[in-house]
A and B are shown apart, each in its own frame.
Chain A
């Protein structure tokens, strides 16, 4: 029981991170029907920007952790968004209106470009970061097993929940979110009502990249090591989360992320850690067999 609780906590933490990345996949798919395979690498860039900004800020700010974290958060959101925007502008927008396969291949190309760029400029070795947020609380102690909840885990979950609340509010309540949903549901009509569709699509990429960059920062803090290749597996996992939740559905991406995180943590806890990825993907296959449009996705039915 105690062990289960501990894995639950670990799973929720991991799920929060996947959920943040998954939103980027699902939003882009919703609006232009494309899988942005470079999104995992955008997240990887986010981790690098966060690490660099944290080290720079703590050096300049006299080692203040709070200042360093704030600087890392703002810097990575800013720079990663800029990259997300640029990727769309350079690699996807010129292919608008092309067959669906073309931007997909462009996205894979962009993914390779970002990985190699990071490898060349930052080196191929893993970059370590000393633990920044220490300690935590012990929830309960029984049968010689202590269930602990670290401050870092609490921070990750709280930041994620706060971001998701703000994000949901933007999408459902603000004119920007309304334009975003209108473009997603009927791009042509949105343009006829005066919506600058290209700008809405850019904004979608910027929001997705900003959320992924926060995930990048949190992973850097949580695991303490990053390298140029972390975007691949995290990207695939988050993509799986988006599909599991129902691609195109925002609550689905959050739920899917949580589900993938829990499956992974529980599987590694009770079975074997080597097969945790297999478990996550197997659940995906099982869910899609019975609910082809994902947990919260809606089937594509067009009423004429």
Chain B
């Protein structure tokens, strides 16, 4: 589904990614873990065309999307839930969801809305409330729901657990698992919360300073001693 080949990217003269290779197959959850500043968010941004890749290629189902403008990439079925959720604060929950479906077939809207509200019943209760007044967890649900409204081929999640209470984090991860299982949604997940991410993911990569240093199945990485020492100290959340 998604194939990244020798990707370099950065900001101005500072290179943040030094040749990333990875692929995500249809139906998988692939996680990318790593410390602050490793380049995880930069990678997701580069997949969507901002910042631009300086070298290498991004292929979505075989089509080269490396040089396409961001909105074209989005319309090809790459839905990105960025770090910090980026809910439109002065639009209602419904309008936020409508924005997700803005470029889909309008005939799907009613059915898709019903599906998303079934996944996130809380959003249904707050349909006409402004996005900016939701709690952090609700905003995260809205961000994922909005992404699903576009019927993406691939869902990119950047730090969905950021700033949320442990109980809410668990809820969000359970929902991601459910979306993957019930809707066959392919997910590429970037997380600092390595424990949850590795438990959820079929496969995972570890990123250090703009390079992928370790790859394997979620379970393998979870039991890897080095990973445990670096990313899981303090134990399970």
A contact set with B: CB distance below 8 Å: 175, 178-179, 181-182, 185-186, 188-197, 303-304
Query: B74 contacts the other chain (Cβ, under 8 Å)?
Result: yes
* A31 to B: closest C-beta gap in Å: 13
Q: Once the chains bind, are B50 and A178 in contact (CB under 8 Å)?
A: no
Known A175-B102, A178-B99: A191·B71 in contact at CB below 8 Å: yes
Per-residue CB contact flags for chain B residues 111-136 toward chain A (1 = under 8 Å, else 0) read: 00000000000000000000010000
Expressed in whole angstroms, the minimum distance between the Cβ of A187 and any Cβ of chain B is 10
Contact of B86 with A194 in the complex, beta carbons under 8 Å: no
Determine if A191 and B70 form an interchain contact, defined as CB atoms under 8 angstroms apart. yes
- Given the interface contacts A178-B91, A178-B95, A181-B91, does A193 sit within 8 Å of B100 by beta carbon? yes
Which residue in chain A gives the minimum CB-CB distance to B95? Answer: A178
Report if B231 contacts A (CB, 8 A).
Answer: no
**B residues near A, CB below 8 A?**
48, 50, 69-71, 74-75, 79-80, 82, 84, 86, 88-91, 95, 98-100, 102-103, 132, 146, 150
Task: Assess the B89–A303 pair: CB atoms within 8 A.
Answer: yes
CB-defined contacts of A190 to chain B, threshold 8 Å: 99
Q: Chain A interface mostly helix, strand, loop or mixed?
A: helix
Bound: A196/B74 CA distance, A: 10
A169-B35 Cα distance, complex, nearest whole Å: 47
In the bound complex, what is the Cα–Cα distance between A203 and B74 (angstroms)? Answer: 21
Question: Given B71, B99, B150, which contacts A196 in the complex, CB threshold below 8 Å?
Answer: B71
Q: Known contacts A175-B102, A303-B132; is A192 also within 8 Å of B90 by CB?
A: no
What A residues does B79 contact at CB under 8 A?
192
User: Which residues from chain A contact B132 at a C-beta distance below 8 Å?
Assistant: 303
In the complex, what distance in Å separates the CA atom of A195 from the CA atom of B100? Answer: 10
Given the complex of chains A and B, what is the CA–CA distance between A189 and B70 in angstroms? 10
Can you give 5 A-B contacts (C-beta < 8 A)? A178-B91, A181-B90, A186-B88, A188-B82, A194-B74
CA distance A304 to B136 in the complex (A): 10
Chain A residues within an 8 Å CB radius of B98: 175, 178
